[in-house]
Structure 1
Amino acid sequence: MASNYEDFFTLSRFGVVGHTAAKPFPLISYRRLKAMGKTVYPIDPSTMLVDRDPAYPSLVSLPQPVDGLIIEVPKAETAGWVAAAADAGIGHVWIHMAHETPEAVALAAEKGINLRTGTCAVMYLNPGMSYHGIHKLIMKLTGKY
């Protein structure tokens, strides 16, 4: 049986939120979702292009709704993106490890969002041996995968 984390990737359309002006865009997640054949939109209010694809400044600017959202922005912005996800009716959100805040977690719970946090989405997306592969092995061994 797939875990809640694994089930996230059964969704069809994704948004990946970054803030290039503050930190590098989460390209590994973005590229791996695309390689899986998913519809994926880069959302970054600080740039017009991500990986040569048009970037969108907000969730309301997307050409179609998304089912899941990966958020990897500075912590000060996380709760705002969770609120935007709730307003857009996005029921599945993944806050990248170490980017969650108590306010963001509480808001997701209040709005009924199925929140994934405490780990890195790349661990589930990046096959093979890497830092993320080692993290994946540890999570499996400890029953947290």
Structure 2
Amino acid sequence: MTDITHDPAALRDLLASARVIAVVGHSDKPTRTSYQIARFLRLVGYTVYPVNPTVAQIDGAISYPSLAAVPEPIDIVDVFRRSEHLLGVVEDAIAAQAGAVWAQLGVADSAAAARAQAAEMPIVVNTCIKVAYNQLIG
């Protein structure tokens, strides 16, 4: 697979086929973008698993310490971590056999993208999943 950031058809297919999204870096603070976007993803019908080892629960849902701890197969790993952490998240996503990695606006790393591509895992970088959903799925 390749970087699908600039392929609207591939993005639409990914968003339409996904059911389970793990949000890495999900905050428990309602003012944070990760919280707001995870809430949006739940509202439009995705099953969302918070992944944040520093938080036990978010809105009554268990916050998992790692992707490996998420109890069901992950379709998309949505990343709210700084770019320098993206490679590690990609490695964890590969180990968890996730379907794709989606790095939020401002998050990109060429080594992480290359690693995902080498593993034939679709990757989206520097793109807000909520904006893409609204543009492509509506």
TM over 0.5: yes
In structure 1, what is the Cα distance between the partners aligned to 2:132 and 2:40? 10
**Aligned residues of 2:26 and 2:38 also touching (Cα < 8 A):** no
Identity of aligned residues (%): 26
The one of 2, 13, 17 equivalent to 1:7 is 13
Structure 2 SS opposite 1:107: helix
Q: Does 1:16 align with 2:23?
A: yes
Structure 1 SS opposite 2:97: coil
For structure 1, the 5+ residue unaligned runs are 128-135, 141-145
The TM-score normalised by the length of structure 2 is 0.79
In the TM superposition, residue 58 of structure 1 has moved relative to its aligned partner by: 0.4
In structure 2, what is the Cα distance between the partners aligned to 1:16 and 1:111? 21
In the TM superposition, residue 19 of structure 1 has moved relative to its aligned partner by: 6.0
- Structure 1 segments (4+ residues) deviating >3 Å: none
**Aligned residues of 1:19 and 1:46 also touching (Cα < 8 A):** no
- Aligned residue for 1:87? 95
The one of 113, 117, 126 equivalent to 2:121 is 113
Structure 1 SS opposite 2:101: strand
Higher relative contact order (CA closer than 8 Å, sequence separation 6+): 2
State the AA in 1 paired with 2:112. A
Deviations 1:97-133 (A, max 9, x none): 22111111111111111111232112134x5xxxxxx
In the TM superposition, residue 28 of structure 1 has moved relative to its aligned partner by: 2.3
**Aligned residues of 2:27 and 2:35 also touching (Cα < 8 A):** no
Q: Which shows bigger deviation, 79-88 or 7-16?
A: 7-16
Q: Does 1:98 align with 2:106?
A: yes
The number of aligned residues is 125
**Aligned residues of 2:26 and 2:35 also touching (Cα < 8 A):** no
State the AA in 2 paired with 1:26. S
- Aligned residue for 2:71? 63
Find the structure with the greater CA-based Rg.
1
Give the root-mean-square deviation of aligned CA atoms: 2.2
In structure 1, what is the Cα distance between the partners aligned to 2:54 and 2:86? 15
In structure 1, what is the Cα distance between the partners aligned to 2:105 and 2:39? 18
In the TM superposition, residue 12 of structure 1 has moved relative to its aligned partner by: 1.1
